[in-house]
Amino acid sequence: MKKIKQTLMGAALAIIAIAFAVFTNMPAFATGSVTVSKNSLSLAIGGSDTFTISATNAAGRVDIVSADESVAMVSHDVVFLDSGITNEGEAPITVTAEGVGVTTITVTLTDVVTFDEEQLSPSTTYTINVVVGPEIHTDTVLEATDSNILLLNEGDFSDVESRVDAGEAAATISHLRSDESVADNDVVKTGDILRITIGGVNFDYVLAFLGDVNGDGLVNSGDYIKIKKHIMESETIAYQSKTWFAADINKNNTITSADYVKVRLYIMDGTGEWRP
């Protein structure tokens, strides 16, 4: 009899304890949450970007892992949201591009609890897709400019394609016209697009072909007329546009009669070579 009484008392205490627990869990801090600011990142080789892990009414351990560190590195392997890094409950994570390719970063919450110590969830994982773009090996044939424009000094699209370095990544290289239609030959026209697709992400570069000011893929009278109009100020060429790079034959960052003369000599010579 005594034993039964004790058991009943135990049960009653347990019920009171549960009721107390439920009751005390109810007020102000009812729910907590953790958010990750981005689910995808697109980086250039050598570049970096940042995402932020933020906690509202929650604290605990967060592990950050890059699936492929040869593609992308993370600034922190683990953060504790209660102490934070720059301020409480918020952790900025810097992702640095290490190599061309595609990878994922997983953000895993472990033992994250609300401020009243309710477990948020046993383990939650967020995935961030990362794509690191290709490298273009520029030289005297294919030059980089201050803009996102590549200047082809001679040759055709095969000379552009051969300078694309996508590392170990599976990449598709496309030659598009300015309206994004696929080019049906290798002739590069000023305004064409070099598109490198890696992991479903397009990396586009506008091409300028030296001397092709009007964008028809040829260097002829139509081009020196364009240069002349710019000099006469009847139709100006925008500074450092694709047309600008095509028209500045002597590359002195200005378009003058010297460029006009060079185009005339190029046409007269008919050798396909620029006179020095």
Give the footprint of Ca ion on this chain (CB under 5 A). Answer: 212, 214, 216, 218, 223, 248, 250, 252, 259
- Quick check: 257 and 230 in contact, CB under 8 A? no
CB of 181 to Ca ion, least distance (A): 19
Q: Which is nearer to Ca ion, 24 or 185 (CB)?
A: 185
CB of 263 to Ca ion, least distance (A): 9
Q: Which is nearer to Ca ion, 148 or 252 (CB)?
A: 252
Q: Which is nearer to Ca ion, 48 or 250 (CB)?
A: 250
Closest Cα to residue 208, out of 248, 165, 260?
A: 248
CB of 258 to Ca ion, least distance (A): 6
Q: Which is nearer to Ca ion, 51 or 224 (CB)?
A: 224
Q: Which is nearer to Ca ion, 85 or 267 (CB)?
A: 267
CB of 141 to Ca ion, least distance (A): 19
Closest Cα to residue 157, out of 140, 177, 139?
A: 177
Which pair of tokens denotes residue 201?
């992400």
Q: Residue 172 contacts by C-beta under 8 Å, 6 or more apart in sequence?
A: 196, 197, 198
CB of 212 to Ca ion, least distance (A): 4
First to last CA, the chain: 113
